[in-house]
Structure 1
Amino acid sequence: MAQQLATWTQLTKRSALQDMLELTSGSEYISFGLGLPNAEFFPTEQLARSANEVLLQQSNILQYAPPTELLKQQIQLLMGQRGVHCSTSQIFLTAGAQQGINLLARLLLDPGKTVLSEEVTYTGFLQVLEPFQPRILTVPTDPVMGIDVEQVEKILQTEERPACMYVIPSGHNPLSYTLSREKRQRLAQLAAEYEVPIIEDDPYGFLEYEDIEIPAIKSFQSDWVFYVGSFSKILAPGLRLGWIIANEEVIEKLSIAKEATDINTTTLTQQIAANFLQKDEFTKHLLYLRQEYSSRRNCMLDHLSARLGEVGSWTSPTSGIFIWVRFPEYINTMELFRESITTEKVTFFPGNVFAVGQNQISTSSIRLNFSFNNHDKIDEGIARLSRLVKRHI
């Protein structure tokens, strides 16, 4: 039967994220691998109250229904914090950001087309591309400065024009950088000048830990940037709620593509989220989340400096939930990972999981998540990681 499946399925492999979920489910593991928010901070009681209210007030809440206008209005207000001014007719609701990326890929790509990507990027985007079997043009990227915009422009100046470009500007997954305002503005200008749409994936844009918030790329260019947002990291991933901001003519095509996928985003969770968001509690929740995650980031940075400061390097991320750690080139982090599973039982993602092709930036680096564990677990986990790495020095 497997031989009768589509050609692309013969080449695809099981996601490293899924393998990690199964492999490290035991309580003996300390996981820095998955990009999980901390369930301790989910506003469970508030969401329960909202669920009770909408279930009692709306008799048709469990029926098929068009997208919830109230939720779109709340997203419209939220986007003002990202510098994006849009109408509710430009907001398209999705079952999480991953579906948003998938739907946009379906709209923008024909099989075999060209896509522009950083040389190290989010694995979920690469999975979305697999059925299209595109040619991926990569540009250099840096854990501090981010995507090389000059190289982007050089590629766009060639005859081979990409169908789209994928960017994670805030709290980059996995490199953890936050792109400067100047680079965002230049990318928006290039998208318009060369008519190459940008998919701006922004799940971490609301998790800023500095006083200055940099606006989204979408704020600089309304036509050629598709903004993808998510409630997974700032509310709860189990709600499966995200959104796309695009022009009305694109929204119509997205509706057709989504209907073929899942008919519509769950009405119940739309209404629960809308009910919660219109209350003052969400503003307090988001502020609390930033404070707690900032504290855990600082905790991990302190322990990294104390235990691995002589053998590794990293930067302090100003947003997001990851820290990208670089070791000397002779250290192979995939080997570290395999050994860690059986000895230290601390998990992380080796850098080459995120690589488009082979490059040195990924083979000797790892991605660590700081949002999931408390301070004690972070302390113990970095101690285990330190023992592991120093055996390879």
Structure 2
Amino acid sequence: MYKPNKKMGKLIIENRSEIFRPSARTERTPASVTRDILKVIDTPGMISFAGGLPDDSLFPIEDLKNIFETSVSKKGSKLFQYSDTQGHSDLRAWIADRYYPGSSADEILLTSGSQQALDLLSRYFIEEDSPILLERPSYLGAIQVFSSYAPTFIGINYGEEGPDMEELKYVLTNSSEKPKFFYCIPDFQNPSSYSYSLEIRNSISKLLLENGVPILEDTAYRELYFKEELPISLCELGPEHTISIGTFSKTLAPGLRVGWIRAPKKILKDLIIQKQSMDLHSPTLNQELVYGFVSSSKYEEHLSLIRKTYQRKSEHTFNCFQNNFGDSLPLQISKGGLFYWLEFPQEINTDLLFQKCLEKGLAAVPGSSFFVGKPERNHLRWNFSNASEEETKLGVKRLFEVYKSIQK
């Protein structure tokens, strides 16, 4: 294992793998497909529709710059000092007031993005082999986090109005062990962009309460509606058995890494302790920047601009698919969110399609990444928010050319 180096007076390690031994949790955490894809998007000529990237031209840079200067002049070194683990009290109060009527700042924990929120909740709930429920398909970032804690995944098939209620009832009735939670994205779901109907929201909230199963509601896309506001959130329907996760990544800027958890106080105190062990607190300055912007009149103007821009991009993307694919690719125009969920004929393997697309300078995410258990391999997730209209036109054209080539 060790070999003396007489000249240098040191030991040479012949097999470093015996020194650096990763934990089982490290080894079972899968790589993020979208993170891997993003590594190749700087390749000359590559057009990417892979990541859930907002349009960075919409980031309110000048407003944030002004807030920074004003805040530093008023608060000085406090913005650069350690701060409370639970987070900026005024921002927590603002979140509670806007999204959770009847809740208070004491029920909000600020996190370093919603991804950290998922990890904190995994720490709290999941034991090895314990069953958890989630939609099928589901957000691959959540699947990645949950996987590191080695649960037993139970996928519930997802349709245009929400999960299959009969399947959910069957699972809850016949499970030998009560699921730890049901993770869901009721609003413009990632990847499908579908939203729960009001009927489904009421049914799910009631059913899971009756069975004593908590709901983990991910609200990342709730503000990104184009015309009609969404029905009441699951957390509003059942605050006593629903934990809500939110983020400013999609509405403000993902680089700020500010998200939150809304949970009953008895749970939140344990989550705060878990967060202390992770990073002490989320960046003080970033929380101040977010609060300064969202508490101003400019936030509503900003949201209106985002919705109009994404609606225009969504409609342009839809028209590009119609012009190229026609009836060969069934697609409904999006009502919000950031994605189109493309469903190809069963004989089209989108893992292969994805590889061929990369060769042609095009990146999107193959649908198999979004499934637990046996994957479906005829879907592709397509982000419409980041690319320009010209890039979208060219990207859809390239996709159609690759699609036709593998049909032959």
TM-score interval, normalised by the smaller of the two chains: over 0.9
Aligned counterpart, 2:55: 38
Aligned counterpart, 2:164: 148
Contact 2:29 2:145 in 1 (8 A): no
Aligned counterpart, 2:370: 354
Name the SS for the 1:105 alignment partner.
helix
Provide structure 1 residue ranges, at least 5 long, that are not aligned to the other structure: none
| Among candidates 221, 238, 251, match of residue 204 of structure 1 | 221
Contact 1:121 1:173 in 2 (8 A): yes
Contact 1:165 1:197 in 2 (8 A): yes
Contact 2:127 2:150 in 1 (8 A): no
Tell me, in whole angstroms, the C-alpha distance in 2 between the residues paired with 1:9 and 1:321: 30
Tell me, in whole angstroms, the C-alpha distance in 2 between the residues paired with 1:2 and 1:370: 43
How does 1:318-337 map onto structure 2 within 5 Å?
A: 318-337=335-354
Q: TM-score, normalised by structure 1?
A: 0.95
| Among candidates 69, 73, 92, match of residue 89 of structure 2 | 69
- Once the two structures are superposed, residues 193-246 of structure 1 have per-residue CA deviations (whole angstroms, 9 ceiling, x without a partner) of 111111101100000112242221111001111000000000000110001111
Name the SS for the 2:192 alignment partner.
coil
Flag as ranges the 4+ runs of structure 1 deviating above 4 A.
Answer: none
How far is the alpha carbon of 1:27 from its aligned partner?
4.1
How does 1:131-146 map onto structure 2 within 5 Å?
A: 131-142=148-159, 144-146=160-162
Name the SS for the 1:92 alignment partner.
strand
Tell me, in whole angstroms, the C-alpha distance in 1 between the residues paired with 2:66 and 2:107: 30
- Once the two structures are superposed, residues 127-147 of structure 1 have per-residue CA deviations (whole angstroms, 9 ceiling, x without a partner) of 1112321111122222x2331
Aligned counterpart, 1:87: 104
Name the SS for the 1:232 alignment partner.
coil
Contact 2:218 2:245 in 1 (8 A): yes
- Once the two structures are superposed, residues 114-137 of structure 1 have per-residue CA deviations (whole angstroms, 9 ceiling, x without a partner) of 111222111111111123211111
Matched, 1:106 2:106: no
Contact 1:324 1:368 in 2 (8 A): yes
Tell me, in whole angstroms, the C-alpha distance in 2 between the residues paired with 1:208 and 1:180: 14
Select between 222-231 and 12-21 the one with higher mean Cα deviation.
12-21
How does 1:127-206 map onto structure 2 within 5 Å?
A: 127-142=144-159, 144-158=160-174, 159-206=176-223
Tell me, in whole angstroms, the C-alpha distance in 2 between the residues paired with 1:200 and 1:14: 24
Contact 1:178 1:318 in 2 (8 A): no
Provide structure 2 residue ranges, at least 5 long, that are not aligned to the other structure: 1-15
Compared CA separation, residues 368 and 129, structure 1 to 2 (3 A): same
- Once the two structures are superposed, residues 342-379 of structure 1 have per-residue CA deviations (whole angstroms, 9 ceiling, x without a partner) of 1x2111111101111224xx311101000001211111
How far is the alpha carbon of 1:100 from its aligned partner?
0.7
Name the SS for the 2:188 alignment partner.
coil
Select between 97-106 and 22-31 the one with higher mean Cα deviation.
22-31
The alignment yields a C-alpha RMSD, in angstroms, of: 1.4
Aligned counterpart, 2:399: 385
Aligned counterpart, 2:6: none
The aligned amino acid for 1:62 is F
Aligned counterpart, 1:246: 263
**Identical-pair percentage:** 29
The aligned amino acid for 2:166 is E
Contact 1:315 1:324 in 2 (8 A): no
Tell me, in whole angstroms, the C-alpha distance in 2 between the residues paired with 1:202 and 1:64: 29
| Among candidates 297, 320, 325, match of residue 280 of structure 1 | 297
Aligned residue pairs, count: 386
Aligned counterpart, 2:9: none
| Among candidates 319, 328, 331, match of residue 302 of structure 1 | 319
Contact 2:31 2:144 in 1 (8 A): no
- Once the two structures are superposed, residues 8-34 of structure 1 have per-residue CA deviations (whole angstroms, 9 ceiling, x without a partner) of 333443221221111222241111111
Compared CA separation, residues 244 and 13, structure 1 to 2 (3 A): closer
| Among candidates 22, 28, 34, match of residue 17 of structure 1 | 34
Contact 2:156 2:167 in 1 (8 A): yes
The aligned amino acid for 2:83 is A
Contact 2:192 2:341 in 1 (8 A): yes
How far is the alpha carbon of 1:2 from its aligned partner?
5.0
Contact 1:120 1:141 in 2 (8 A): yes
Q: TM-score, normalised by structure 2?
A: 0.91
The aligned amino acid for 1:281 is K
Tell me, in whole angstroms, the C-alpha distance in 2 between the residues paired with 1:341 and 1:128: 27
The aligned amino acid for 2:43 is G
Contact 1:69 1:88 in 2 (8 A): yes
Tell me, in whole angstroms, the C-alpha distance in 1 between the residues paired with 2:166 and 2:330: 26
